[in-house]
Amino acid sequence: MNEAGLTKVSSRMTVQDGVYEQLRHALMCGMFEPSQVITIASLAGEFGTSHMPVREALRRLAAENGLEIARNGSARVPPVSRERLDDLCLARITLESLATERAIPRMKPADIDRCLLLAEEHEGLGKSGKVYDMLRKNQEFHFAIYQLSGSEVILQLIETLWLRFGPYMRMLSDLVARQLEAGIIHPYSTYHYEMIDAFRAGEAEKAGLLMVDDIEATQKLLQELC
């Protein structure tokens, strides 16, 4: 398996969809560097496919603003900027706090228990220095909540925002890795545990505000890097 975590595409799904889903997930998790150029030939080799499904997957991701396509057909991960970061975080705060508030009345005890397990796994991965696994678990935690919002439209919009946020997730992973090497461990799961307490108490507004705090804490870290 390569650094981005890409694997051969299973025959259980269409090749095109398999390439698209893996690339989309890798971008959302920050597996590619900001401004990194991605060629069709290199991806086709990693996936073990022809150029056609890769070209189509890149086209779909560019339509979602997850990639930029050059004239020669190669793709580039969007560059980062303070302005774009703040704009994305504004949209994330608006939609993700709303999704969180809407999820509370729909949460069952099993849903809350799953969120707790994800929060514990996220914290454990951070303490053990497994940065990329920690960020993937963070994504699982967030979407376990948003999927209970009852709105397919809101969920799709949030997914698109996370796709566009991918280059900043890469910056965050690099920062966290450097901090862990220096022996600095931040309590990244604090807001997650506080949210779970709000879930159990049925406090939708409080849970939404804690989600805002969680996003703004990440935003503040990234602002210094931009």
Residues 59 and 117: their CA atoms lie apart, in Å, by 37
Check whether 26 has a pLDDT greater than 60: yes
Residue 163 tokens read as 């796709």
Reported as a single tens digit per residue, the pLDDT across 167-226 is 999 999 998 888 877 777 666 689 999 999 999 999 999 999 999 999 999 999 999 998
pLDDT of res. 179: 83
Reported as a single tens digit per residue, the pLDDT across 106-145 is 999 999 999 999 999 999 998 888 888 998 999 999 999 9
Average pLDDT (33-44) is: 93
**What is the phi/psi pair of residue 173, to 5°?**
-65, -40
Q: How confident is the model at residue 1 (pLDDT cuts 50, 70, 90)?
A: very low
Residue 101 near residue 204, CB atoms below 8 Å: yes
Whether CATH 1.10.10.10 fits 15-76: yes
Half-sphere exposure of 156 (CA within 13 A, CB side): 4
Q: How confident is the model at residue 3 (pLDDT cuts 50, 70, 90)?
A: low
- Residue in this structure with the two tokens 């931040």, named with its chain if needed: 186
Q: Check residue 65 and give left, alpha or beta (phi > 0: left; psi -120 to 50: alpha).
A: left
For the domain spanning 82-225, the CATH number is 1.20.120.530
* SS3 per-residue string spanning the chain: CCCCCCCCCCCCCCHHHHHHHHHHHHHHCCCCCCCCEECHHHHHHHHCCCHHHHHHHHHHHHHCCCCEECCCCCEECCCCCHHHHHHHHHHHHHHHHHHHHHHHHHCCHHHHHHHHHHHHHHHHHHHCCCHHHHHHHHHHHHHHHHCCCCCHHHHHHHHHHHHHCHHHHHHHHHHHHHHHHCCCCCCCCHHHHHHHHHHHHCCHHHHHHHHHHHHHHHHHHHHHHC
Every domain of the chain and the residues it spans: 15-76, 82-225
